[in-house]
Amino acid sequence: MDSAALSAAVDFAVRNESPFGHDLRAYLEDRLLTTGPHGEIVGPMKDRGDPNGLILRDGYIVAEWGDTDRVDMTFSITKSYLSTTGGLAWDAGLIRDLEDPVVDYLRPGEGRELFEPSRNTSITWHHLFTQTSEWEGTLWEKPDVADRRRGQDRELAKPGTFWEYNDVRVNLAAYGLLRVHGRSLPEVLRDLVMDPIGASDGWQWHGYRTSWVSVDGRRVQSVSGGGHWGGGMWINSRDQARFGYLFLRRGRWGDEQILSEEWIRLATTPSPVEPTYGYMWWLNTDHRMWENLPDASFAALGAGTNAIWIDPEDDLVVVVRWIDREMLGDFLTMVKRAVEKPADPTALEGR
């Protein structure tokens, strides 16, 4: 890496801090995000920290700034953790086919009724993971119309034909996966991913005060897929980097295959309806997200802006917290350009 260019990138990230206020509850309540009849925050919130992050190259930390041990909200980065619990279910055979209707996996009184209205019965796991389900209903006292970002009054399309970022439907995916796994998703993620990759024990995954259910006689909270109404994944940057590195290594950690390579492939395959979106991962298909970055790079993104950016081409994982959204692409481009290329492609052979 070019150390001077790397330092310039870090300085740029720190200098271009997010406009999000440190009091996140007050900030969200002052914005359109939580206004309207269904805008009440129903999950826990916490104040945010200062800009921080780290950059990994070939598995080594080559840059680090700010308090990377501070646990912060991640907003929609949570969705990438959520889809990973779907991958664990698929790898284990708990989901037999991603094209199966979700209703077939649920029992009466345990979520089946959420899919029984006629327009919802054909919704598959694939639809939920790609945010193309067009599910209609109410979950945890939040109707899907509360987050119809592409028009509240529009006519709903056939499942699989229209893409919309909708946190109510993401929370539906989380609830379906809770029932499939038969235990809380934070337990699943901790036991099968976070502990094996050496993450700290400081991360937390929250739901809403309205999302408690009974699972085999135990009171369990169905978690949220973001911080839209509070909750979601709270985690530090170093743990985010480990999670990103797991995906860079195609699901492998040391000698253990945590997630199948096939799941990683599926999760990072463009949806025909929205080519920049996979299974709750953002993709740079045809350079549509970031013009100057590799087509094969992908990211977990959350409001704030929080990001885990992964570049297989140069073996990079970048975690950046609380950067101005409009500056994220420029920052990542600066990091990418800090990678030094040997003048002679054979210069590194044998090293």
**Coarse DSSP helix, strand, coil percentages of the chain, rounded to the nearest 5 percent:** 35, 20, 45
Crossing angle (nearest 10°) for helices 328-337 and 3-15: 170
Convert the pLDDT of each residue in 75-134 to its tens digit.
999 999 999 999 999 999 999 999 999 999 999 999 999 999 898 999 999 999 999 999
Q: Is the pLDDT of residue 347 over 50?
A: no
The percentage of residues in the chain with a pLDDT greater than 70, rounded to a whole number, is: 96
Q: Are 47 and 40 in contact (CB under 8 A)?
A: no
Token pair 């949570």 is found at 78
SS3 label, residue 305: coil
Q: Is the pLDDT of residue 44 over 50?
A: yes
Give me the long-range contacts of 186-189 (CB less than 8 A, separation at least 24).
Answer: 186/223, 188/85, 188/88, 189/81, 189/84, 189/85
Average pLDDT, the chain: 94
Torsion of Cα atoms, 166 then 179 then 90 then 82, to 10°? 40
State the average pLDDT over residues 253-275. Answer: 97
Output the pLDDT for position 351.
38
Output the pLDDT for position 38.
84
Q: What is the CATH number of domain 1-351?
A: 3.40.710.10
Crossing angle (nearest 10°) for helices 78-91 and 167-181: 30
Output the pLDDT for position 228.
87
In the chain, which residue ranges form alpha helices assigned H by DSSP?
A: 3-15, 24-29, 78-91, 125-130, 167-181, 185-189, 237-248, 261-267, 328-337
Domain ranges for the chain, please list them.
Answer: 1-351
Convert the pLDDT of each residue in 128-139 to its tens digit.
999 999 999 999
Convert the pLDDT of each residue in 15-24 to its tens digit.
999 999 999 9
Output the pLDDT for position 344.
52
Output the pLDDT for position 117.
87
Output the pLDDT for position 325.
97
CA–CA separation, 170 and 176 (whole Å): 10
Which run of H or E residues covers position 233?
strand 232-235
* Nearest Cα to Cα of residue 133 among 148, 143, 117, 122: 122
Output the pLDDT for position 343.
58
Token pair 């800090």 is found at 338
Q: Is the pLDDT of residue 40 over 70?
A: yes
Output the pLDDT for position 33.
54
Q: Is the pLDDT of residue 238 over 70?
A: yes
Output the pLDDT for position 151.
74
* Nearest Cα to Cα of residue 193 among 244, 267, 243: 243
Who has greater pLDDT, 31 or 49?
A: 49
Convert the pLDDT of each residue in 312-325 to its tens digit.
999 999 999 999 99
